[in-house]
């Protein structure tokens, strides 16, 4: 750790502040007392979602997950009930809900989520290599030294094209300053401190570490008087042990984000909505518009996009139904993914998109960027834009759809269809030979048709037969699981033939009817007989099962295998038959 000469110098200046030092220090002390419940707790945790490995636990014990789902809540209740009964002391043993570590741009970070004497869990983030005074020292003296030594003018720092170069320059200079000041520090430690310094100079300070936690969906600063909040995928809103020191810090972060996209946030325009280069979306508001203080809300872009393998592995969908959907996609049939809010529609759309052949042009249109396709696909992601403060420059879904058709797409992906005009354009596009994959808010296939054919969307029934099928996603709140509820073929005049449906008792997706429309379409366009369709579905099912078995679930890995399959199915089937993992980078 850093040497004394500087330490002494700085210690003096820090001593006055010592008492306000930190919630963090206190929290670290609390950590020592923790009960060692960690593993048991972790396993019993009802599965909220996301991490495919974790999802397996739900699968293996569906009944327990039913019992356990409400457990999180009931645990809180028990604790709350006990509190008034206890006379003295009022102190409650903190319970460790989860703990994990990850790397934030090379900095090792530890997280503990605890249930303390509060209504919400606490999310405690620590960097094991950096203690509080080191942080202060870095922020107090070295940060200024770094900025003056790198000596770039502000336009260079703000130019997004030069950002990576600027970052490298800062990192290199930071390292040399640290080496000079602390000659005895190991290279590994210098590296960590340099990244920390960089995050505090060019980035959003300690929020950067929160941005690197894949378990978080949202990060929110409400004011400098309140700890930073995070929305954890499993535990919902949690209070962190971080706090911005002054309102001006939040303001500085907000204006840094604004300037990078050529905007401003100030008294006259006190609100900002912006995308960071990695897709995270930042909203900022300034006091007094936000009464308690300046706010920042970061909605994180999903770093681990969903793939069809994830879905099969987590038993959201069966491999058999996935194989049928894959066959539809291969043959350019259009599909709608329906479901309620948060049922996993967009995630399913993402998984489907990974099955599109690499030689086809894809244009996607979204309100907020959520989709991530294999990196080598021929893909143009487009996103709407809000009007600027003068009310100019708005780009709507509809504008993008009209424009998309001029980009010669083979496939069009649409985040969510809500309005009449959007639906009209989409069905026109289907009728003119594009294949379209869109999500729509509806609880089942029938509701999907009824939403499409009644006001406000109000499409004529005759238009619907451009659509081949509807996949419905569904979230079972009590079991806390997500499943494909049904898959229906769309027949003439918008009638439905539901061919697969989830069975609640067995938690399986079962075939409920023979294929009619798909059979007709596939025989018409691909010349496939009934037998050929079923053997193709079986073959694809085997490929999918094999991918699940061998853990090929990353978006690019899945995409590569699918693309190889399109080019040379026998090559892929050789591996499937031998039951061996795919060899990438061939
Ligand atoms: N099959 C699944 N299992 C677990 N979590 C899922 C599943 N599908 C989606 N999720 C998660 O659920 C949340 C909502 O998913 P999203 O696709 O955005 O829903 P929708 O588009 O229906 O509102 C996301 O955090 C996503 O990661
Ligand atoms: Mg969605």
Supply the DSSP symbol for 377.
Answer: S
Ligand 1, pocket residues at CB < 6 Å = 49-50, 311, 314, 316, 339, 341-347, 439, 482
> Which of 45, 69, 281, 344, when mutated, tests ligand 1's pocket best, judged by the most ligand atoms within 8 Å of its CB?
344
Euclidean distance between CA atoms 217 and 233, whole angstroms? 6
Distance 348 CA to ligand 1 centre (A): 8
Distance 146 CA to ligand 2 centre (A): 43
Instruction: Quickly tell me which residue has 């202060």 as its tokens.
Output: 136
DSSP helix/strand/coil, 118: coil
Q: What is the pTM of this model?
A: 0.71
| Ligand 1 atom with least separation from CA of 347 | 17
- pLDDT score recorded for residue 310: 97
- pLDDT score recorded for residue 70: 37
Burial class (CB in 10 A: 0-12, 13-18, 19+), 137: buried
Q: Tens-of-pLDDT digits for all 586 residues of the chain?
A: 444 444 444 444 444 444 333 333 332 323 333 333 333 344 344 444 444 444 434 333 344 333 333 334 333 333 444 444 444 555 567 899 999 999 998 899 999 999 988 899 999 999 987 888 888 888 888 888 888 888 777 677 667 677 788 888 889 999 999 999 888 888 888 999 999 988 888 889 989 999 999 999 899 999 999 999 999 988 989 999 999 999 999 999 999 889 888 888 999 999 998 888 778 889 999 999 999 999 999 998 877 799 999 999 999 999 999 999 999 999 999 999 999 998 999 999 999 999 999 999 999 999 888 899 999 999 999 999 878 767 888 999 999 999 999 999 999 999 999 999 999 999 999 999 999 999 999 999 999 999 999 999 999 999 999 999 999 999 988 887 999 999 999 999 999 999 999 999 999 999 999 999 999 999 999 999 999 999 999 999 999 999 999 999 999 999 999 999 999 999 999 999 999 999 997 6
Distance 473 CA to ligand 1 centre (A): 9
Ligand nearest to the CA of 368: 2
Distance 342 CA to ligand 1 centre (A): 6
Distance 492 CA to ligand 2 centre (A): 28
**What tokens does 377 get?**
């696909």
- pLDDT score recorded for residue 78: 39
- pLDDT score recorded for residue 2: 42
* Residue nearest atom 23 of ligand 1, based on CA coordinates: 342
DSSP helix/strand/coil, 111: strand
- pLDDT score recorded for residue 90: 55
| Ligand 1 atom with least separation from CA of 217 | 25
Instruction: Quickly tell me which residue has 């396993």 as its tokens.
Output: 43
Name the CA dihedral angle for 558, 561, 563, 564, rounded to a multiple of 10 degrees: 180
Q: Which helix (H) or strand (E) holds 179?
A: helix 163-181
Peptide bond between residue 456 and the one before it cis (omega within 30 degrees of 0): yes
**Domains defined along the chain, listed by start:** 1-35+93-301 (3.30.450.380), 308-578 (3.40.50.300)
DSSP helix/strand/coil, 482: strand
């Amino acid at each position: 750790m850093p040497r004394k000469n500087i330490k002494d110098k700085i210690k003096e200046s820090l001593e006055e502040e010592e008492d306000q030092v930190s919630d963090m220090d206190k929290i670290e002390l609390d950590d020592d007392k923790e009960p060692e419940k960690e593993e048991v707790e972790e396993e019993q945790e009802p599965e909220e979602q996301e991490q495919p490995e974790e999802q397996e636990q739900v699968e293996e014990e569906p009944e327990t997950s039913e019992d356990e789902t409400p457990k999180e809540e009931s645990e809180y209740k028990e604790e709350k009930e006990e509190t008034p009964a206890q006379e003295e002391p009022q102190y409650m043993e903190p319970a460790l809900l989860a703990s994990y570590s990850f790397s934030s741009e090379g900095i090792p970070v530890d997280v503990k989520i605890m249930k303390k004497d509060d209504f919400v869990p606490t999310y405690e983030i620590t960097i094991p290599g950096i203690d509080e005074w080191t942080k202060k020292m870095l922020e107090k003296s070295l940060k200024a030294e770094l900025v003056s030594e790198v000596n770039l003018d502000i336009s260079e720092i703000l130019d997004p094209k030069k950002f990576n170069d600027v970052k490298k320059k800062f990192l290199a200079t930071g390292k040399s300053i640290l080496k000079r000041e602390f000659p005895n520090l190991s290279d590994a430690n210098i590296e960590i401190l340099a990244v920390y310094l960089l995050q505090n100079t060019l980035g959003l300070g300690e929020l950067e570490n929160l941005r690197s936690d894949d378990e978080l969906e949202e990060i929110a600063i409400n004011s400098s008087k309140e700890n930073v909040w995070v929305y954890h995928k499993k535990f919902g809103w949690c209070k962190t042990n971080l706090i911005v020191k002054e309102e001006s810090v939040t303001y500085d972060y907000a204006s840094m984000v604004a300037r990078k996209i050529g905007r401003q946030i100030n008294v006259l325009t006190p609100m900002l909505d912006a995308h960071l280069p990695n897709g995270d979306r930042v909203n900022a508001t300034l006091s007094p518009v936000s009464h308690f203080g300046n706010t920042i809300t970061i909605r994180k872009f999903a770093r681990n996009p969903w793939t069809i393998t994830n879905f099969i592995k987590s038993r959201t969908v069966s491999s058999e139904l996935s194989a049928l959907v894959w066959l539809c996609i291969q043959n350019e049939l259009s599909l709608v993914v329906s479901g309620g809010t948060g049922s996993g529609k967009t995630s399913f759309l993402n998984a489907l998109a990974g099955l599109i052949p690499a030689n086809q042009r894809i244009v996607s249109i979204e309100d907020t960027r959520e989709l991530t396709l294999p990196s080598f696909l021929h893909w143009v992601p487009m996103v709407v834009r809000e009007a600027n403060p003068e009310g100019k420059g708005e780009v709507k879904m509809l504008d993008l759809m009209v424009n998309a058709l001029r980009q010669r797409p083979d496939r069009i992906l649409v985040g969510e269809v809500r309005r009449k005009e959007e639906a009209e354009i989409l069905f026109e596009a289907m009728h003119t030979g594009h294949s379209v994959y869109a999500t729509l808010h509806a609880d089942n296939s029938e509701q999907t048709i009824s939403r499409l054919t009644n006001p406000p969307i109000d499409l004529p029934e005759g238009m619907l037969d451009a659509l081949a099928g509807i996949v419905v996603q569904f979230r079972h709140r009590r079991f806390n699981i997500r499943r494909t509820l049904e898959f229906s073929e769309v027949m003439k005049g918008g009638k439905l033939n539901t061919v697969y449906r989830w069975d609640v008792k067995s938690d399986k997706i079962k075939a409920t009817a023979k294929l009619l429309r798909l059979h007709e379409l596939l025989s018409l366009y691909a010349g496939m007989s009934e037998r050929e369709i079923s053997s193709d579905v079986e073959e694809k099912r085997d490929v999918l099962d094999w991918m699940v078995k061998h853990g090929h679930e990353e978006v690019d890995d899945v995409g590569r295998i699918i693309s190889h399959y399109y080019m040379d199915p026998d090559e892929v089937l050789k591996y499937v038959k031998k039951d061996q993992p795919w060899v990438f980078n061939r």
